[in-house]
Amino acid sequence: MGALENAERTQEELILGFLADGRDEYTSGEALSAKLGLSRTAVWKHVESLRGKGYRIDAVPARGYRLVDVPDRLTPLELSPLLSTHHLGQSIHFHDTLPSTNQTAFKLAAEGAEHGEVVITEQQTAGKGRRGRTWVSPKGLNLYFSAILRPELAPQHAPELTLVAAVALAETLREAGADALIKWPNDVQIDGRKVAGILTELSAEPERVHFVVLGVGVNLNAGREDFPPEVAPMAISLSEALGQRVNRALFTTDLWGRLEEWLDLHHEVGFDPVRKRWKELSSTLGQEVLVRTDRAELRGVAEDIDEAGALLVRTAEGSLQRVLAGDVEQLRPRVAASR
């Protein structure tokens, strides 16, 4: 993208931001001109450009402009005016279609992308799930992004970031009105069905992390018909849970704001507050579970997570087993938690 195109986009983002701040009130062309340092004619041209991109903007002589409606997209034009973060999402790499946001973000990070840069797409053709699985990614309905993080963190503590993201996700979904819970290690559920997943990948040396790519997929507006038959019974979208369509841009920027707050707290204080909140939002703890690892199966009651985020399972024989990775089947899942 050239410098001129970047400047044009930034000015349009600013206009959208000012109009969004005005809510249902009109913002005068004179005020926009003064704020942007542009002529009234230049402001009008930007407004016409935004209209051509699908934005509904009213214009009334002597009153100014009013933002009526925005297109359901997740480009920087829709997201940047809504952001309140300091780092996360301040640089957005948008693609209409990608094989995988994690794959693209990992490449960008290896080339020097900065902390907080985000790769986002409307569709993944080879979305990554855990343990080599595919994340089903229908176009224009949900949220698929990967954030590049450069934490000051020893590699053995990198798995904590998955739990940080799970807490932020569950809280954002609950704020939207859904009773979301976290299933260890990286799924978020509503009514026992998966609404979101997290995939964390990293580049590290034995003593330090170079970068972490935090991939997140959230089912926002997909219906059951948008998932393959083998996936549909286990999946749910936020819109299905709420009974109404979700504003994807608002949800995305709310999530990024909440995620940055938890990342900052984790950086400043450590894992303890994350662990405490994760336990409050867990659907796994206190439940009888069947854990499948690469080597064996383990059955027992999930009692706790330890200081590293590993799952502690009490077997029928009374031994306490520490599980670092595996698939967990909750034999009698919980469906409610305190907010």
Domain spanning 288-330: CATH 2.30.30.100 = yes
Give the three-class secondary structure for 277: helix
Q: What is the mean pLDDT of the chain?
A: 89
- Mean pLDDT score, 248-252: 96
pLDDT range class, residue 20, cuts 50, 70, 90 = confident
Q: Is the pLDDT of residue 252 over 70?
A: yes
Express each pLDDT in 43-101 by its tens digit.
999 999 999 888 889 999 989 999 988 889 999 989 998 999 999 999 999 999 999 99
Residue 278 is predicted with a pLDDT of: 95
CA distance 297 to 290: 7
- The listed CATH number (1.10.10.10, 3.30.1330.10, 3.10.580.20, 3.40.50.11540) that belongs to domain 3-69: 1.10.10.10
Residue ranges covered by each domain of the chain = 3-69, 76-280, 288-330
CATH superfamily of domain region 76-280: Bira Bifunctional Protein; Domain 2 (3.30.930.10)
Q: Is the pLDDT of residue 3 over 60?
A: no
Q: Is the pLDDT of residue 2 over 80?
A: no
pLDDT range class, residue 19, cuts 50, 70, 90 = confident
Q: Which two tokens mark 310?
A: 């590993």
- Mean pLDDT score, 91-113: 95
The set of residues, in sequence order, having a beta carbon less than 8 Å from that of 214 and lying 6+ positions away, is 146, 147, 149, 161, 162, 165, 198, 200
**Confidence (pTM):** 0.85
Residues 82 and 260: beta-carbon distance below 8 Å? no
Among 222, 226, 224, 220, which Cα is nearest to 248's?
220
Residues 169 and 143: beta-carbon distance below 8 Å? no
Express each pLDDT in 202-238 by its tens digit.
999 888 899 999 999 999 999 988 888 888 889 999 9
Cis peptide before 185 (omega within 30 of 0): yes
Residues 109 and 201: beta-carbon distance below 8 Å? no
Residue 1 is predicted with a pLDDT of: 46
Residue 265, judged by CB atoms within 10 A of its CB (0-12, 13-18, 19+), counts as: middle
CA distance 159 to 305: 12
